Amino acid sequence: MSARVAVIGGGAAGMAAALSVIEEGAEAVLFEKGTALGGILNQCIHNGFGLTYFKEELTGPEFAERLASRVRESRIDVRLETAVISVSKELVVTYENPKGSASEMFDAIVYTSGSLERSAGAIALPGERPSGILTAGQAQLYLNHYGYLPGKNVFILGSGDIGLIMARRLTLEGAKVLGVAELCPYPNGLNRNIVQCLEDFGIPLYLSHTVTKAYGRKRLGAIELSEVGEDRRPIPGTGVKIACDTLVLSIGLMPLLSLLRPLGLKKNRSGQIEVDDSFMSSLPGLFLAGNALHVHDLVDNVALEAEAAGREAARFALGKRERGDRHLLAKAGEGIGYLIPGLIEEGGEESVLFRFRSARPNKDCYIEFFQGDKTIKKIRKPTVIPSEMEFVRIPKKLLDFNQETTIEVRLCPLS
């Protein structure tokens, strides 16, 4: 019997991982709870996707369909309308669908379930809970998929990319976007979205501001917008009441990890599940990729990462995973928000691709990789911002696996 790999989640990451699994020679079973493959891409009708992965600019649905057509033409066992309800340490996947529930054991699992949006409850938004308060993803679904304009006078809290894109989309559909507020003193979306979605449409961006109250019973009638200090707490007496019927929340994404919590997987200091340079977690045979591992800025990077994870999962399942007994730890140092991977094993690929984000915006700085007191690599950066992922590939031959030391990445000022 051939080695079998379960892929949980049928978005861009899941499809790319499953395709990679079968290309490596293992069997792939792709679980998707929805009625179609593609995940969130199916409601992202704007362009800007595919420039890296497909070498041309596509909309979200076009990107999803390109991958889905490859999946349909392959020998991947696709199971739509099938929700995974548990994963065990023995790599047993329990699922349910309209036909009932069942459990199956696999030789490896790639977890690509994506992420969740933070809601009003996540930030304990003061005030009433009338209709008209919704996440950016919900607003996108209502408008792009169902054709419903969620409001006429809209304010957006948070400068994440989905919120910025929805500011433009809502404006084009006839709504009045009154402004975007950001808690940080810098925007959290990509620079191109700040320009194309706000500046091009004259939509104001309020940095170091937040919504401190919502007014309304059945329907939102107004919000209170307040300045925040360096501690990111509202400054008393700065509140301004703004009449609006809709508040769109674009306040961040969180990896969807509820299925994995019972497994007690090792996490890094940022609360993410720690993986090695093959994307395997502390549970042998369980791999993660895409937004389930860390929140990405571009779907192209999601697909590329998932391809690598699928390939490594297939090798594990087939007993072809060539790894040494020695390993090095890796951690995010000063100025770095998080770092993936957290473990580098001897053997396998000849190099390791580090993925990370800066903890804050910086100009004229260095990204330095250290092992003990030794600088492994030093890269000058004119600008780094938290909204854009950084990628640095390090040949393993530069690492000393004879030392029990940790690889550390730091953001250093130009000196």
Domain boundaries, the chain: 1-117+253-321, 119-251, 324-415
142 Cβ contact partners less than 8 Å away, ≥ 6 residues apart: 134, 148, 149, 150
Query: What CA–CA distances, in Å, run from 157 to 58, 104, 169, 223, 384?
Result: 28, 43, 16, 11, 23
Asked if domains 1-117+253-321 and 119-251 share a fold, the reply is yes
CB 239 within 8 A of CB 224: yes
At 277, list the tokens: 């340079």
Per-residue pLDDT of the chain (415 residues; tens, 9 = 90+): 589 999 999 999 999 999 999 999 999 999 999 999 999 999 999 988 999 999 999 999 999 999 999 999 999 999 999 999 999 999 999 999 999 999 999 999 999 999 999 888 777 788 878 999 999 999 999 999 999 999 999 999 999 889 999 999 999 999 999 999 999 999 988 888 999 999 999 999 999 999 999 999 899 999 999 999 999 999 999 999 999 999 999 998 899 999 999 999 999 887 889 999 999 999 999 999 999 999 998 999 999 999 999 999 999 999 998 777 789 999 999 999 999 999 999 988 899 999 999 999 999 999 999 998 899 999 999 999 998 899 999 999 999 998 877 899 999 887 6
Q: How far is CA 104 from CA 13, 15, 84, 93, 109, in A?
A: 22, 20, 11, 5, 11
Q: How far apart are CA 338 and CA 330, in angstroms?
A: 10
119-251: which CATH architecture? 3-Layer(bba) Sandwich (3.50)
Side-chain-facing half-sphere of 355: CA atoms under 13 Å:
24
The CATH code of domain 1-117+253-321 reads 3.50.50.60
Amino acid symbol at 235 = I
Cα→Cα distances 256→13, 42, 202, 259, 272, Å:
13, 19, 35, 8, 11
Torsion angles phi and psi, residue 289, rounded to 5? -160, 160
